[in-house]
Each structure stands twice: as C-alpha cells, then as structure tokens.
C-alpha cells in the first residue's frame, strides 16, 4: 500500500492502470475510519482490480462555526485500517495541493443542495460537489463508492455525474450500524456515554416509520408525526428535520409510493447526526 500526495502522480498512476485494462475503484473519505468506511473499501476491493482511498478533510464543505479544526484525525490509525483491507493507494493531499492560490471555481448542484441538510449547512454541498468533481478528475476511476448514510450526498453526486458526464459509476453501500442500531459516523466520537444512549432515538424513530409502513400506512404526515413523538421523549436530542421524499429529486411526498427516502438530522451534544432508510413501496 502506497501513500500519494501529489495530484499529477495520482492521476498518472490511475491512467496507467486503466491503460493496462484494470478496473479502478475510488473511495472518497475524510478519514478517521470506522467499520462503515472499511465496508466501502471491502466492496471496492471485491469489485475492482485497483483501489484508491482518498483521505482529505475538505475545508470547503464546512460552514462557518462548524468543526473543521476539531474534526477527528489520526493518519497512522487510518493507514493501518486501510492496509488491513488490502487497498492499493491512499491519496492524501494537503489543502494547498487541492486549493492552490487563486482557486476560484466551484461546482453547485441546484435544488438538491438546498433541501434537508442544505437548509442547515448552507454551502456544504457546493463544497462536496466541488471536491468530488476534483477527485473524479484526479482519480479517474470507473467506480466510486459512497455510504447510504449520506443519502442527500448520494443524490447530489448522482445528479453531478449525470449532468457533467463523468465516466464513473456511483455505487451506494448500505449503512453500517453499531450493534445498538446507531449509524456509524466519525462524529460519534463526540458523544459521551449518556449522549450515545440518547442518540439511539434516531434509529428508533426510523424503525417506528418502518413499522407503520409495514402496517400499511402511506400518509407521510402520520409517519412524520409518529417519528417526532418518539424523538420528543428525549429533550437532549435537538431535531433539525424529518424528510419524507422521493429518493432521486428529494421532493416531499404526501402519499408514499415507489422508492421513498425517510431521512432525519439532529444534534446530540456537540455531534450533528444524520440517518435514513429507503423503502420500496408498491
């Protein structure tokens, strides 16, 4: 396993691999890995001949007052976790390598970026779309792997790839959860023992929605109200939103049919947590 820090060398390495007929898989990350990241890497390893994990804490996707400086980082630990999966390369650039002096170009996916998390983190998805566009060019892989936990990010990136004709397939990997049901996240490290217990209410709310859907409920307002009731039992959990929408354009639905995304975000102590489930409804 090799670490590359220069854009030109990373691109040349991938282009040479593709010239020899190899299928390249890309796993974009901000590091501080957990089992969810490793599952992305394992999926890429199973599908591809060569796997590149990018490790870059992207400053442009943090809004003012967010945790860019405090975001957890441990490169040596991350490297060991990457090596244990059998990844071929880590692309680990410095900020000036990605955003040199004079950088002035940004990519924005309209509409999809302004909903849900976009309402609470203005500019976040512009930062995501910009850095991922750069990574698709620096690591021109045929396949790119992202976690379903970041459902809105997935929708934004699928639209990005379709609209800008990137020659890469975006592959969603199911959310990996702790045994308790809590969705794995690097920001879970911010949770104390009591906060970690309280955070389980997010998964409980989604399970409540699943139970209602299984029972035949199709009215989104009934489902959202039931989820809010579950979360309201814990005043320490500050709900930001519950969204019940289609899974492509993220538009709200009143009656559930087809592929429906139910997503939520809440603050628990210092941590901002997101979670979701996708339902196929006939």
Please, where are the H alpha helices in 232-274? none
pLDDT tens-digit profile of 33-70? 999 999 999 999 999 999 999 999 999 999 998 999 99
Work out the mean pLDDT of the chain and round it to a whole number.
Answer: 97
Positive or negative: CA dihedral 75, 80, 84, 89:
positive
How high is the pLDDT of residue 282?
Answer: 86
pLDDT tens-digit profile of 173-230? 999 999 999 999 999 999 999 999 999 999 999 999 999 999 999 999 999 999 999 9
pLDDT tens-digit profile of 80-97? 999 999 999 999 999 999
Answer yes or no: 37 catalytic.
yes
pLDDT tens-digit profile of 128-138? 999 999 999 99
* Alpha-carbon span 156 to 175, nearest angstrom: 17
- Spot the catalytic one: 20, 34, 37, 203: 37
CA distances from 206 to 59, 162, 175 (A): 31, 30, 13
- In the chain the domains, ranked by start, together with CATH numbers, are 2-173 (3.40.50.620), 186-276 (3.30.1300.10)
């Amino acid at each position: 396993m090799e670490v590359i820090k220069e854009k030109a060398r990373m691109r040349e390495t991938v282009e040479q691999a593709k010239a020899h007929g190899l299928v390249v898989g890309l796993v974009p990350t901000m590091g501080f890995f957990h089992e969810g990241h490793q599952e992305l890497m394992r999926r890429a390893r199973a599908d591809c001949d060569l796997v590149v994990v990018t490790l870059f804490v992207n400053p442009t996707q943090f809004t003012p007052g967010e945790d860019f400086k405090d975001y957890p980082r441990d490169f040596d630990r991350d490297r060991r976790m990457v090596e244990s999966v059998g990844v071929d390369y880590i692309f680990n650039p410095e900020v000036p390598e990605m955003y040199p002096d004079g950088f002035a170009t940004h990519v924005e996916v309209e509409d999809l970026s302004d909903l849900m998390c976009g309402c609470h983190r203005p500019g976040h998805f512009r930062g995501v779309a910009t850095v991922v566009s750069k990574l698709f060019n620096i690591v021109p892989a045929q396949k790119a792997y992202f976690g379903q936990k970041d459902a809105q990010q997935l929708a934004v990136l699928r639209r990005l790839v379709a609209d800008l004709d990137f020659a890469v397939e975006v592959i969603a990997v199911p959310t990996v959860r702790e045994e308790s049901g809590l969705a794995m996240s690097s920001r879970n490290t911010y949770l104390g023992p009591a906060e970690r217990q309280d955070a389980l209410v997010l998964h409980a709310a989604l399970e409540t929605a699943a139970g209602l859907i299984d029972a035949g409920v199709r009215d989104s307002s009934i489902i959202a109200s039931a989820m809010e009731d579950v979360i309201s039992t814990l005043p320490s959990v500050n709900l930001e939103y519950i969204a019940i929408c289609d899974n492509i354009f993220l538009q709200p639905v009143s009656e559930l049919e087809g592929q429906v995304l139910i997503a939520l975000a809440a603050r628990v102590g210092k941590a901002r947590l997101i979670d979701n489930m996708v339902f196929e409804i006939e």
